Amino acid sequence: MHKALDLKIESLEHYLGCLLSWHLKEGHHVAVWRLPKSNFLQVLIDKSGKTKRVDPILEELPSGFIVHPFEDQQDQKAFFLEADSYFKIDLNIPLAEQADQIDSIKEIKSLEENAGILRKSFVNPKEQHTLGYYKACTKKDFVSLVQKGIEAIKSGQLNKIVPARLKKKTLSEEFDLVQSIKSLVYTYPNAFINFFHIPGVGTWLGASPEILIQTRGDAFYTMSLAGTQKARGDNPLKNAAWTQKEIEEQALVSRYIVDCFKKIRLREYDEQGPKTVLAGNLLHLRSDFKVDMKATNFPQLGSVMLKLLHPTSAVCGMPRNKAFEFLREFEKLNRSLFAGYIGPANVEGETSIFVNLRTAMLTEKEAFLFAGAGVTEDSNPEKEWEETEMKCEIIGKHLK
Ligand SMILES: C=C(O[C@@H]1C=C(C(=O)O)C=C[C@H]1O)C(=O)O
């Protein structure tokens, strides 16, 4: 076994490449993430080789990384990676100074070799045939889906719907996962940068702007994020002007959260916003909701809200069940883990679960990009298509 910082390992990229390629080849489950505004890259490895599924009762789970698909599972369970190994790398300090805190490398290979091993390990050969079920959506089909959504809203069946689509991007022979992680980390300081690999389930890389629930000590936090426009000019946050359509669209998500609080008779919450926030080259409207779990005597609020919130009207629609049925019937897309939820649970005493957005499912030769757009009565189908193009690009442009 080599020490973590063998002289031959000269960079973070090389270290990560050696580490990840070895674990993926071994059939281990891996999650790597960087929380918004954090300087730490966190690494969690489940070495059991087993796909674990758990009830998402966060307060009772060991330290790990939780992954739940968009669709509710019949048994209500989520995938779970248990932290057999967990460590973090301070991105502001040379790797050589952190050798004692990080896992050692078992095998040293070149950057190119690691990139190749990683690509080949994304999809289990036995699962290869399932990739055929993922079909890219044409502009014509998406525009007509949005149109159907608008009609369903006008006829009073729905208040809001969030149709999504899949776009495929061919990866070049030189595609290097580690370089993509690095470029996401440095380009999107406010996003939850995440990579996870669950053999037989999927390998995903993303930069989510949306927290579903977060708990830190006694503090509970959630947000309503919706409304999208391109960031323009030198000071995009100042220059943003929102139309009635976007204001309503985001207000519906806030109302959805408040309705969830009402269902559990929680009256003491702090709501701030909406304010304009930057996510990559896009602007959104965001409201922040905070609860003191101790003062409200609600220690299990994280799990309770997780169950009530997912999928929110930011990624599904309103009313939820009707929106869900609409998507099942007309969207014709296996969303898989897109618009599900992902994130560390009970890692260093904190749980940060994000909506799996601005993300790609990786295969050896192609990336499957997923994006949706909130549709209301006043939506323009062409514009919604453009919005999904911009959302796909947030990840797409970092996959070379
Ligand atoms: C559905 C997506 O994003 C969600 C939908 C938004 C919208 O409709 O404006 C904005 C932010 C997200 O809550 C996506 O990124 O694919």
- The structural domain count of the chain equals 1
Contact 46, 61 (CB under 8 A): no
- How remote is the CA of residue 391 from the centroid of ligand 1, in Å? 8
- Rounded Cα distance between 268 and 245, Å, is 29
Asked if ipTM goes beyond 0.95, one says yes
> Which of 153, 208, 284 has the most ligand 1 atoms within 8 A of CB, as the residue to mutate?
284
pLDDT of residue 48: 97
Burial class (CB in 10 A: 0-12, 13-18, 19+), 87: middle
> Which of 145, 162, 208, 276 has the most ligand 1 atoms within 8 A of CB, as the residue to mutate?
162
Give the sheet arrangement for strand 164-170, strand by strand: 85-90, 40-46, 29-34, 192-198, 202-208, 359-362, 366-372, 164-170
pLDDT band for 390, please (50, 70, 90 cuts).
very high
In the chain, the percentage of residues whose pLDDT exceeds 70 is: 98
Nearest-CA residue for ligand 1 atom 6 is: 226
CATH number for the domain harbouring residue 37 = 3.60.120.10
Contact 326, 316 (CB under 8 A): no
Amino acid at 225: L
pLDDT in tens, 260-297: 999 999 999 999 999 999 999 999 999 999 999 999 99
Mean pLDDT computed over 233-260: 92
Residue 357 Cα: closest atom of ligand 1 = 15
pLDDT band for 4, please (50, 70, 90 cuts).
low
Mean pLDDT computed over 7-28: 89
Contact 202, 342 (CB under 8 A): no
pTM of structure: 0.96
Q: Is the dihedral of CA 119, 120, 124, 130 positive or negative?
A: positive
pLDDT of residue 6: 57
- How remote is the CA of residue 363 from the centroid of ligand 1, in Å? 24
- Rounded Cα distance between 268 and 399, Å, is 44
- Rounded Cα distance between 267 and 247, Å, is 24
- How remote is the CA of residue 118 from the centroid of ligand 1, in Å? 30
- Rounded Cα distance between 262 and 312, Å, is 15
Residue 387 Cα: closest atom of ligand 1 = 9
Domain boundaries, position 243: 1-400
pLDDT band for 209, please (50, 70, 90 cuts).
very high
pLDDT of residue 124: 87
Residue 394 Cα: closest atom of ligand 1 = 15
Contact 166, 134 (CB under 8 A): yes
The residues lining ligand 1, judged by C-beta closer than 6 Å to any ligand atom, are: 162, 210, 225-228, 284, 314-315, 357-358, 371-374, 391
> Which of 167, 212, 228, 254 has the most ligand 1 atoms within 8 A of CB, as the residue to mutate?
228
pLDDT of residue 132: 87
Give residue 118's region: left, alpha or beta (phi > 0; psi -120 to 50): alpha
pLDDT in tens, 361-387: 999 999 999 999 999 999 999 999 999
Amino acid at 311: P
